[in-house]
Chains A and B, each alone.
Chain A
């Protein structure tokens, strides 16, 4: 039997045994799920740039602030308006006189909810000179002139009309027709989406039906260009997991965090376990003075409390994700050393190692070709079991605000949640999912690790 065949057979045997362990299979399924989520990340989120523009406030400005996920509508009695994007608006064009052209579009918005959206935002890019007029026609026939505004710019620029900010006065005067004494703060969207009666503020009833948003754009010059216009209904619920207090979509952040969690976990455990295994084998193989020195060094490292050191190191040196992985590996390698050493001490006495020595094989060859391969199953088990702690340490360091600011990790989301008062204000959709994600990845690798452990130590299975 040649070598590749032997390895293939060993792998197959291992797999056959592994299949017997149910939670091992569960671990593999979970791992595949995570890999799937990483690969298809851009297609699974409405914000494909979440990963690179997480801290860019302009990227998130159309989202509502701190609102729960859409699916709470299934559980709550009142329906919240979800966020909606109305794009590809088609305009009818009409020349008025000379260079002046009129563009008109009517957006029909079906409102079947109880709690109105947080805002309506009309935006696009333009160059030149135009004026904008938005009239809302409600299902009850009332027409409200919301916005009149003109824009001028010589270069291409964004324009963004938030109805809550721009139409306050017009909405107040509309409300004054029905209610004598207006409260000091008038919630624009409550007025727009409620039945116009005396109880507009004390006890508003939602007015369901089709709302028509009549948008008129008047181009003042022929060179004026208006592009990429869209209407954003910034809902009172948003996304799969709601938004945080910087208007960011939590689901997108969570999805973007998976790859970093896996990367940090796998890198750290692969580096540290490899180092630890080689260290243990070398220490056992040479024995004597080399062994004692190596064991003393190991003892020093095992006596350093890892987390405080990591915190202080990160606080002082402000590390990137790479240096954080390196720092963690620097302390994690101690884990497998003792077990590996005791295993290697046995392997060292095996006849084939003796034979290799007698044949004049080099130390390096004996260590890497004859001793370490035997320890590979054990290494994989301890690598799997190390992944969760690496993720946990990164999350903890990030929680203190010491993470790498160029990426998004779950720990950083939790740090923001902690600082943003998510715990005190009960914004559970911001706190619970990242923690569950950390726990799920941890569980995945715990399943894999414990499954391998069960195979390697058949004694533990049952009585």
Chain B
């Protein structure tokens, strides 16, 4: 039954997420303690500054400082044993309580890490879903063409390009594309999401964003579709060698129908999962890509957080990236299980 499979798969995703968060929490325990500690001291110092202006007894101030620091340390569980700290940090992370950033601010100037990360997610998703849809369309189309003419010149040359692109860093290609099409031949903007200042009308803004999206998307698609085509080719080719294709051909069914009706229909589920899996794989690779195009997404956030050494933002961003990543895998499995009834046992493709 599909819904039972679905519930089990989702639960498993949740469990895995919880386990990973515990691993992160253990791994980054010391660093987070240090950051929190300095944040507490800073906060208390700030409070003292305000109080001392009224002219209070310095003895009382010192006492207050000590009391306040130990209070806050207790609040953040800093005096607890290590294991309990790891536990509480994981619980905090799981409830999206990432704390405050040390340097970075959200677009509105807030220090809440969750807000900083949340406002970036739509930008990342917008860029990558668009790129990946175009990517899959071109890749699958080319893959079918390659399978149809396997071993011929077109198949061979595109396969060689695939291998050439295999080790190519997408962000490097982005750098070259910017150099070519934003500076040498200035037809695209060099980065960002909107012009400065952004257009005021809705449509003006929309077109401006699309215009800024064009170069990153062209780059991503150009790097991406070769591998997809190669995979599609292999899957379709594998199916074309099956007996049912032979019998279809023997029955005199037109080649086109054999290809699209028979071979492609059986190939669809694996092609879809493979494509979506590589979408997830490219998700993390493409994060760096955002930095190159200064696209204000999650990847760019990693970039700037690394530069400013803002640990809470890095960890918060990492937790949310992981959440998105795992959700992606779960959704993928659900789609796959729906398409291919044989795979309702819980594994992955």
Do A307 and B284 form a contact, CB below 8 Å, given A300-B16, A435-B172?
Answer: yes
Q: Which of B13-41 contact A (CB under 8 A)?
A: 13, 16-17, 19-20, 23, 27-28, 31
Count, A-B residue pairs, CB within 8 A: 154
User: What number of B residues sit within 8 Å (CB to CB) of A?
Assistant: 61
Contact of A432 among B23, B176, B329 (CB under 8 A): B176
Q: In whole angstroms, what is the CA distance A414 to B174 when docked?
A: 12
Q: Which residue of B lies closest to A392 (CB)?
A: B169
Q: Is A304 touching B322 in the complex (CB atoms < 8 A)?
A: yes
Q: In whole angstroms, what is the CA distance A446 to B163 when docked?
A: 6
Residues of A within 8 A of B31 (CB): 316
Residues of B within 8 A of A443 (CB): 163-164, 166-167
Residues of B within 8 A of A426 (CB): 179, 183-184
- Assign chain A's interface to a size class: 35 or more
Q: In whole angstroms, what is the CA distance A439 to B305 when docked?
A: 28
Contact of B151 among A402, A417, A435, A463 (CB under 8 A): A463
Task: Answer whether residue A352 sits at the interface, using C-beta atoms and an 8 A cutoff.
Answer: no
Contact of A463 among B176, B237, B317, B321 (CB under 8 A): B237
The interface stretch among A237-245, A279-287, A393-401 is: A393-401
Task: Answer whether residue A260 sits at the interface, using C-beta atoms and an 8 A cutoff.
Answer: no
Q: In whole angstroms, what is the CA distance A299 to B329 when docked?
A: 11
Task: Answer whether residue A388 sits at the interface, using C-beta atoms and an 8 A cutoff.
Answer: yes
Q: Is A23 touching B306 in the complex (CB atoms < 8 A)?
A: no
Q: In whole angstroms, what is the CA distance A312 to B240 when docked?
A: 45
Q: In whole angstroms, what is the CA distance A459 to B235 when docked?
A: 11
Q: Is A435 touching B173 in the complex (CB atoms < 8 A)?
A: yes
Q: Which of A380-409 contact B (CB under 8 A)?
A: 388-389, 391-392, 395-396, 399-402
Closest chain A CB from B153 CB (angstroms) = 13
Contact of B285 among A300, A307, A315 (CB under 8 A): A307
Residues of A within 8 A of B307 (CB): 401
Q: In whole angstroms, what is the CA distance A418 to B190 when docked?
A: 13
Q: In whole angstroms, what is the CA distance A440 to B167 when docked?
A: 7
Do A438 and B167 form a contact, CB below 8 Å, given A303-B325, A316-B28, A402-B306?
Answer: yes
Task: Answer whether residue B283 sits at the interface, using C-beta atoms and an 8 A cutoff.
Answer: yes
Task: Answer whether residue B160 sits at the interface, using C-beta atoms and an 8 A cutoff.
Answer: yes
Binary contact track A434-453/B, C-beta < 8 Å → 1, others 0? 11001111110111001000
Q: Which of A408-426 contact B (CB under 8 A)?
A: 414, 417-418, 423-424, 426
Task: Answer whether residue A302 sits at the interface, using C-beta atoms and an 8 A cutoff.
Answer: yes
Closest chain A CB from B189 CB (angstroms) = 13
Q: Is A312 touching B315 in the complex (CB atoms < 8 A)?
A: yes
Residues of B within 8 A of A435 (CB): 168-169, 172-173, 175-176
Task: Answer whether residue B241 sits at the interface, using C-beta atoms and an 8 A cutoff.
Answer: yes
Q: In whole angstroms, what is the CA distance A91 to B241 when docked?
A: 81
Task: Answer whether residue B309 sits at the interface, using C-beta atoms and an 8 A cutoff.
Answer: yes
Task: Answer whether residue B272 sits at the interface, using C-beta atoms and an 8 A cutoff.
Answer: no
Task: Answer whether residue A305 sits at the interface, using C-beta atoms and an 8 A cutoff.
Answer: yes
Task: Answer whether residue B336 sits at the interface, using C-beta atoms and an 8 A cutoff.
Answer: no
**Residue of A309, A414, A417, A438 with most partner-chain B CB within 10 A:** A309
Residues of A within 8 A of B151 (CB): 461-463
Q: Which residue of B lies closest to A462 (CB)?
A: B151
Residues of A within 8 A of B305 (CB): 315
Residues of B within 8 A of A389 (CB): 167
Closest chain A CB from B321 CB (angstroms) = 5
Q: Is B326 touching A303 in the complex (CB atoms < 8 A)?
A: yes
Residues of A within 8 A of B184 (CB): 426
Q: In whole angstroms, what is the CA distance A306 to B208 when docked?
A: 33
Task: Answer whether residue A308 sits at the interface, using C-beta atoms and an 8 A cutoff.
Answer: yes
Q: Is B241 touching A463 in the complex (CB atoms < 8 A)?
A: yes
Residues of B within 8 A of A375 (CB): none
Q: Is B166 touching A446 in the complex (CB atoms < 8 A)?
A: yes
Task: Answer whether residue B265 sits at the interface, using C-beta atoms and an 8 A cutoff.
Answer: no
Q: In whole angstroms, what is the CA distance A446 to B165 when docked?
A: 9
Q: In whole angstroms, what is the CA distance A450 to B167 when docked?
A: 13
Task: Answer whether residue B287 sits at the interface, using C-beta atoms and an 8 A cutoff.
Answer: yes
Q: In whole angstroms, what is the CA distance A304 to B325 when docked?
A: 8
Q: Which residue of A lies closest to B323 (CB)?
A: A305
Q: In whole angstroms, what is the CA distance A338 to B6 when docked?
A: 22
Q: Which of B166-214 contact A (CB under 8 A)?
A: 166-169, 171-173, 175-176, 178-179, 183-184, 190
Task: Answer whether residue B331 sits at the interface, using C-beta atoms and an 8 A cutoff.
Answer: no
Task: Answer whether residue A460 sits at the interface, using C-beta atoms and an 8 A cutoff.
Answer: yes
Q: Is A450 touching B163 in the complex (CB atoms < 8 A)?
A: yes
Closest chain A CB from B24 CB (angstroms) = 8
Q: In whole angstroms, what is the CA distance A440 to B292 when docked?
A: 22
Task: Answer whether residue B238 sits at the interface, using C-beta atoms and an 8 A cutoff.
Answer: yes
Closest chain A CB from B182 CB (angstroms) = 8
Closest chain B CB from A234 CB (angstroms) = 26
Q: In whole angstroms, what is the CA distance A423 to B291 when docked?
A: 13
Contact of B179 among A302, A305, A423, A447 (CB under 8 A): A423
Q: Which of A93-145 contact B (CB under 8 A)?
A: none
Closest chain B CB from A105 CB (angstroms) = 45
Q: Is A305 touching B167 in the complex (CB atoms < 8 A)?
A: no
Contact of B321 among A305, A396, A434, A441 (CB under 8 A): A305
Task: Answer whether residue B303 sits at the interface, using C-beta atoms and an 8 A cutoff.
Answer: yes
Closest chain A CB from B305 CB (angstroms) = 8
Q: Is B284 touching A460 in the complex (CB atoms < 8 A)?
A: no
Q: Is B326 touching A462 in the complex (CB atoms < 8 A)?
A: no
Q: Is B160 touching A23 in the complex (CB atoms < 8 A)?
A: yes
Q: Which residue of A lies closest to B322 (CB)?
A: A305
Closest chain B CB from A310 CB (angstroms) = 9
Q: In whole angstroms, what is the CA distance A392 to B285 when docked?
A: 9
Q: In whole angstroms, what is the CA distance A307 to B268 when docked?
A: 29
Task: Answer whether residue B150 sits at the interface, using C-beta atoms and an 8 A cutoff.
Answer: yes
Given contacts A311-B314, A440-B167, A446-B163, 9 further A-B contacts (CB under 8 A): A303-B16, A306-B284, A308-B322, A313-B27, A315-B311, A392-B167, A401-B306, A418-B175, A443-B167
A selection of 6 A-B contacts at a CB cut-off of 8 Å is: A308-B302, A312-B302, A418-B175, A438-B169, A439-B169, A450-B159
Q: Footprint of A on B, CB under 8 Å?
A: 12-13, 16-17, 19-20, 23, 27-28, 31, 150-151, 159-160, 163-169, 171-173, 175-176, 178-179, 183-184, 190, 234, 237-238, 240-241, 283-285, 287-288, 291-292, 302-303, 305-307, 309, 311, 314-315, 317-318, 321-322, 325-326, 329, 347-348
The 4 closest A-B pairs by CB, nearest first: A442-B167, A388-B167, A435-B172, A307-B284
